[in-house]
């Protein structure tokens, strides 16, 4: 019996009509059948938010005239849940999210809707991958990201991913030196707010964060990207500090 082509669920947080999701769908389609379920609008930095107080609607649409898709009025995590629960005839063999326009290395992982779509795939039991380009611009050269995504999807379909683990891939714009395993770099945003006044004379604030690296050891995802490589980081949604828990478990409270 001929083996069925893998089914790959594609999502993102920049919205279903972004260039990045189209690029990732094209890469995924070289491995199997593609179904796109993604937000109907920009949802960057919504993290793992889910919609509970308003109904979700999925509008059937075509992406780039070739891919079947659903535009959902919800978050990236909503999209994966809805796809898994309602929209797909069979379960996906892989969930991919991206290509995000903007880095999801370091602390960005926590705020990212792109990564959360992939994490939701992991929670539901599917091998999942988030792909991001460190260049924010909508027309960034995604050739290196495509190449890296192709390599990693091939690896995942052959080797699988451990339960509870999501792969987070980041690549610079333009050509690539290769893909390197890396840990999440310790970093943070130092928030700055620009204060303004609206036409009704009320104050409002606009957040403008500055990214700050908190380590200089080398070997992090951010270091790899700076050297012209794509970084591949296995991440997990289990937020327990196992190291500290083990140490503290001897302590009587
Ligand atoms: Mn985004």
Ligand 1 mean position to 115 CA, how many Å?
9
Q: Which residues of the chain have pLDDT under 50?
A: none
Task: Give the model's pLDDT for residue 2.
Answer: 60
Ligand 1 mean position to 18 CA, how many Å?
10
Task: Give the model's pLDDT for residue 216.
Answer: 84
Q: Quick check: 105 and 225 in contact, CB under 8 A?
A: yes
Ligand 1 mean position to 98 CA, how many Å?
8
Residue with tokens 């500090």: 241
| Cα-based distances in Å from 26 to 64, 65, 95, 127, 148 | 10, 12, 14, 19, 13
| Cα-based distances in Å from 14 to 108, 144, 216, 251 | 15, 19, 31, 46
Q: What is the pTM of this model?
A: 0.96
Task: Give the model's pLDDT for residue 21.
Answer: 98
Distance CA 213, CA 153 (A): 29
Ligand 1 mean position to 158 CA, how many Å?
28
Q: What residue ranges do the domains of the chain occupy?
A: 7-184+217-248
Ligand 1 mean position to 197 CA, how many Å?
28
Q: Exposed, middle or buried, 106 (CB in 10 Å: 0-12/13-18/19+)?
A: buried
Ligand 1 mean position to 161 CA, how many Å?
24
In degrees rounded to 5, what are phi and psi of residue 230? -85, 145
Ligand 1 mean position to 48 CA, how many Å?
13
On whether the 7-184+217-248 domain is CATH 3.40.1210.10, my answer is yes
Q: Quick check: 78 and 50 in contact, CB under 8 A?
A: yes
Ligand 1 mean position to 232 CA, how many Å?
18
Task: Give the model's pLDDT for residue 25.
Answer: 98
Ligand 1 mean position to 103 CA, how many Å?
9
Task: Give the model's pLDDT for residue 101.
Answer: 98
- Angle, CA 133 vertex, CA 48 and CA 180 arms, to 5°: 100
Task: Give the model's pLDDT for residue 113.
Answer: 98
């Amino acid at each position: 019996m001929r083996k069925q082509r893998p089914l790959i669920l594609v999502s993102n947080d920049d919205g279903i009509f972004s260039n990045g999701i189209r690029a990732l769908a094209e890469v995924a389609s070289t491995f199997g059948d593609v179904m796109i379920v993604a937000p109907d609008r920009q949802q960057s930095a919504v993290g793992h938010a889910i919609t509970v107080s308003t109904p979700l609607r999925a509008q059937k649409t075509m992406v780039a005239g070739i891919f079947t898709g659903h535009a959902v009025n919800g978050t990236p995590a909503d999209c994966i849940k809805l796809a898994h629960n309602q929209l797909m005839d069979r379960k996906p063999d892989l969930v991919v999210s991206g290509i995000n326009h903007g880095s999801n290395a370091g602390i960005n992982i926590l705020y990212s809707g792109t990564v959360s779509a992939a994490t939701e795939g992991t929670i539901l039991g599917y091998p999942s991958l988030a792909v991001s380009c460190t260049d924010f611009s909508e027309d960034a050269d995604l050739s290196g990201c495509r190449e890296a995504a192709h390599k990693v999807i091939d690896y995942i379909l052959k080797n699988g991913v451990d339960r509870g683990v999501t792969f987070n891939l980041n690549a610079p714009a333009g050509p690539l030196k290769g893909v390197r395993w890396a840990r999440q770099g310790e970093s943070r945003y130092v928030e700055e707010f620009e204060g303004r006044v609206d036409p009704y004379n009320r104050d409002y604030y606009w957040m403008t964060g500055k990214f700050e690296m908190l380590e200089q050891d080398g070997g992090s995802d951010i270091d790899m990207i700076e050297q012209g490589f794509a970084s591949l980081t296995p991440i997990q949604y289990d937020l327990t500090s196992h190291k500290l828990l083990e140490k503290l478990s001897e302590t009587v409270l």
